[in-house]
Each structure stands twice: as structure tokens, then as C-alpha cells.
């Protein structure tokens, strides 16, 4: 056990050194020389203070992200190696008879341990964001969200873990396939209720108050053949200065949502471009493509977890204090594998997402035919979130679900140049 703990600490330390070196010294983040002075150059739309803060904040945020991800795995590994997972299993067995109650008791204590260990890191992230004026949320509001997160995640996990371990015990060889089959209606159900049940736990949503703007957005939706009746806004200014808009939900609960920070900071034509971008996602059915991709990855992931967990327990089960994946004590191992596989798949899912975002950008510029508004909206997004215009390669690979601001502006410039060439030829 001491060797494993020493190895885990050393590995985590070396990983942290590499991350620090890459973010602060190794990965170049300045834009290429040929784009200096263009509309994609942050020097043309950010002042010197914004440029300095953007670099500082982006590096800090990226460093904390890459450090935090394996930190949670490290906590779970310690729960296994110290025998704490086995002891919590025995304790839950001694005070409850039904499997669901046993699982819930075990999961509560595991969730509490992880939350307590991760909370200081989350607090640091919050304070960093607050110091750079990205977050505007009060400490009380932040703590309230942490409590809501804990209970929402615990209740969902209690249901999922109970079903998962019941399947593992009853269908040892095919549990992963049955679990995946059951995940399809459950995932669709969650996506259906999220806009009306889960999201309102954190923020207030209401129809867009600016009716004149709503009419223009709905006219744009009609032009795109989208049957929309309302656009929603959400009071994110209580929590952040960043800008955003998104499409959420499926079926009759699907919504186009605008953050009120976006409404307050952007001009009308910039908002219309962003709305056209979200409509592009709807028209090209990116939500359903995303669901299909998620389900395929879930199938591959569950199969991999079945094989990997069996191999780990077979070879190192005595060190991890677990005998079989049927035990609830094996849950930390399964969570480590889920986390590692998710992290490893991020480059793939982000690549697909960036392709969809580019497609939505192209759709929006065709729908609005307003390049200036498109470019200025991207510039404002970068300034409001203090995001890097041209991040290092690995940062983009693992963290960017959207094309970089440099890429998005260059796409629009190229499209505009091509359209002007076609017009001149005609």
C-alpha cells in the first residue's frame, strides 16, 4: 500500500510539473505573425490591461483544471488503498438491509469525503474567478450552489449506482449492455426535464423581457423554419460577467436561452448573430447528433469499464481491498475508470463539437449576412471571459468545445472574402 501511495503522489507531482511547464513555459499562446493587426489580433480589440489579465486568468484557469481532474482520482485511490471503502461497505451493511439503502448510505459517505477534499480546490477556483471579475456571485450564493450540487448529484448517483450494481450482481457478463440499454431512455428523460426541473434550481428563467428584440429573433427563427414561440433569458449577471447563449432540452421542452449578461453587453445585431448561431444547432439537429454520439461513447465506455475493472481486481484486488466488482466497495475504482476514460475521450468529443460550432457559425453568417456583427460579438465574448484568442495546442485539444476565437474570426473573414469574390465574378 505504501508503494502505491508513494507512486501515486510522485506521479501526481510529476504530472503537475509537466502541466505547469507546458502552460507557463512550453505551449506558445501568441497569435501567428501573419494575423497581427487583423480583426483576430487581441491587440486590436483589447487594451493592455485586458491583454495582461486575459493571459494571467487563462493560464491560472487551465492549470487548475488539469490539476483538479486527477486530484479526484487520487482521492478515490486513497479511499481504496487505505481500506476505507471496504470499511464503509461493512458499516452500511451493518445498519441497513435493503440494497438501495446500503448503497445510499455508502454513497453518501463517499460523496461527502470527495466533496470535503475537493471543496478547497473549488474555493480557490471561485476566488480566482472573483479576483478577475469573471464571477460576481457572493460567497453565500456560491455555497448555496455547492449544496444544491451535492444533493442533486447524490440523488441521481444513488439511483444510478443502485441500478448499476444490481445489474452487475444479476448479469455479471452482460451487465454493461443492459446498463447501456437502460441509459438511453434515462438520458433522454434527463435532457427533457433539465430545462424545467434541474436548471431552475440554480437560476431564474423567464421569457425575454425585450419584446421588440424577441420579435426580431422570432422573425429570424421563422426565416430559418424553426417553430419557436419564446426566447428565454436567465439572470446570470448575479453570478458572472461572462457571456453565453445556448440551446437546451429536447422535444416540447427545447429552449433557446440567452444570458442577461449577453443582453446587457452586446448590441442588437450581435445578439441576432448569436441567436442565428443557436438556431443553426437546431436546424442541423446537433442536439440529437450529440445524444447519439454520447450513447455510442457510453456503450464503449461501459464495455471498457467491465474489462478493465475485472483486470484490475484480478491483479491488484488485494492491494485495493476489493474482491469483486459486485461489491459496492469497488465503486471508487469504477469512478476512477469513468473519469480516466472521459478525460481520454475529451479530444474526440471536443473535435466533433468544434466542427458543429463552426457549422453553426457558418449558418449564422449566411442567415444574418452581417460579418461585422459576427466578428465584434466574438471579440466581446473573448473580452468578457478573458479567454485566450489562440491557446496552446493541448489546451485547445482537451478544453475547447468551440473553435478558438482566432479560428472563428478567420472563418468569417474567409467566408466574407469568398462571397465578395463571387459577387465580383457575377
| Cα gap 237→256, rounded to integer Å | 18
> Where do we find the cell 471498457?
304
Which string of DSSP letters, residue by residue, matches 6-59? HHHHHHHHHHHHHHHHIIIIIS--SPPGGGTTSTT-GGGTS-HHHHHHHHHHHH
Ramachandran quadrant class, 26 (left: phi over 0; alpha: psi -120 to 50; beta: rest)? alpha
| Cα gap 49→377, rounded to integer Å | 20
Active site members: 278, 361
Q: Is 419 annotated as a binding residue?
A: no
How far is CA 350 from each of CA 133, 252, 330, 334, 361, rounded to the nearest angstrom? 27, 27, 30, 24, 16
Query: How many residues belong to the chain?
Result: 426
Q: Is 281 annotated as a binding residue?
A: yes
8 Å CB contact between 360 and 283 = no
Q: Is 372 annotated as a binding residue?
A: no
How far is CA 402 from each of CA 32, 351, 358, rounded to the nearest angstrom? 20, 9, 8
| Cα gap 373→361, rounded to integer Å | 12
Annotated binding site for Zn(2+): 277, 281, 357
Amino acid at each position: 500500500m505504501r508503494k502505491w501511495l508513494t507512486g501515486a503522489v510522485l506521479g501526481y507531482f510529476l504530472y503537475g510539473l509537466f502541466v505547469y511547464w507546458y502552460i507557463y513555459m512550453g505551449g506558445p499562446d501568441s497569435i501567428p505573425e501573419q494575423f497581427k493587426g487583423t480583426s483576430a489580433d487581441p491587440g486590436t480589440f483589447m487594451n493592455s490591461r485586458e491583454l495582461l489579465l486575459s493571459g494571467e486568468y487563462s493560464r491560472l484557469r487551465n492549470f487548475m483544471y488539469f490539476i483538479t481532474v486527477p486530484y479526484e482520482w487520487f482521492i478515490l485511490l486513497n479511499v481504496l488503498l487505505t481500506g476505507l471503502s471496504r470499511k464503509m461497505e461493512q458499516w452500511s451493511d451493518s445498519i441497513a438491509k435493503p440494497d438501495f439503502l446500503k448503497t445510499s448510505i455508502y454513497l453518501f459517505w463517499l460523496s461527502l469525503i470527495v466533496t470535503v477534499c475537493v471543496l478547497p480546490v473549488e474555493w480557490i477556483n471561485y476566488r480566482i474567478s472573483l479576483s478577475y471579475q469573471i464571477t460576481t456571485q457572493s460567497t453565500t450564493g456560491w455555497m448555496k450552489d455547492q449544496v444544491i450540487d451535492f444533493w442533486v448529484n447524490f440523488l441521481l448517483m444513488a439511483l444510478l449506482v443502485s441500478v448499476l450494481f444490481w445489474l452487475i450482481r444479476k448479469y455479471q457478463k452482460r451487465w454493461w449492455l443492459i446498463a447501456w440499454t437502460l441509459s438511453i431512455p434515462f438520458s433522454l428523460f434527463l435532457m427533457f426535464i433539465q430545462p424545467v426541473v434541474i436548471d431552475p434550481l440554480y437560476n431564474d428563467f423567464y421569457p425575454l423581457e425585450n419584446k421588440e428584440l424577441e420579435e426580431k429573433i422570432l422573425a429570424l427563427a421563422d426565416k430559418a423554419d424553426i417553430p419557436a414561440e419564446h426566447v428565454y433569458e436567465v439572470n446570470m449577471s448575479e453570478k458572472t460577467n461572462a457571456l453565453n447563449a445556448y440551446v437546451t432540452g429536447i422535444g416540447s421542452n427545447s429552449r433557446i436561452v440567452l444570458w442577461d449578461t449577453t443582453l446587457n453587453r452586446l448590441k442588437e445585431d450581435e445578439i441576432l448573430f448569436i441567436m442565428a448561431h443557436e438556431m443553426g444547432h437546431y436546424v442541423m439537429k446537433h442536439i440529437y447528433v450529440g445524444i447519439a454520439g454520447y450513447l455510442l461513447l457510453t456503450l464503449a465506455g461501459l464495455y471498457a469499464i467491465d474489462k478493465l475493472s475485472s483486470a484490475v481486481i484480478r491483479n491488484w484486488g488485494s492491494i485495493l481491498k476489493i474482491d469483486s466488482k459486485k461489491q459496492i466497495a469497488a465503486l471508487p475504482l469504477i469512478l476512477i475508470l469513468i473519469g480516466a476514460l472521459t478525460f481520454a475521450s475529451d479530444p474526440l468529443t471536443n473535435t466533433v463539437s468544434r466542427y458543429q460550432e463552426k457549422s453553426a457559425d457558418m449558418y449564422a453568417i449566411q442567415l444574418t449576412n452581417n460579418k461585422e456583427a459576427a466578428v465584434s460579438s466574438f471579440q466581446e465574448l473573448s473580452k468578457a471571459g478573458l479567454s485566450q484568442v489562440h491557446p496552446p495546442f493541448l489546451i485547445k485539444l482537451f478544453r475547447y468545445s468551440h473553435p478558438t476565437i482566432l479560428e472563428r474570426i478567420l472563418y468569417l473573414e474567409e467566408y466574407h472574402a469568398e462571397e465578395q469574390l463571387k459577387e465580383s465574378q457575377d
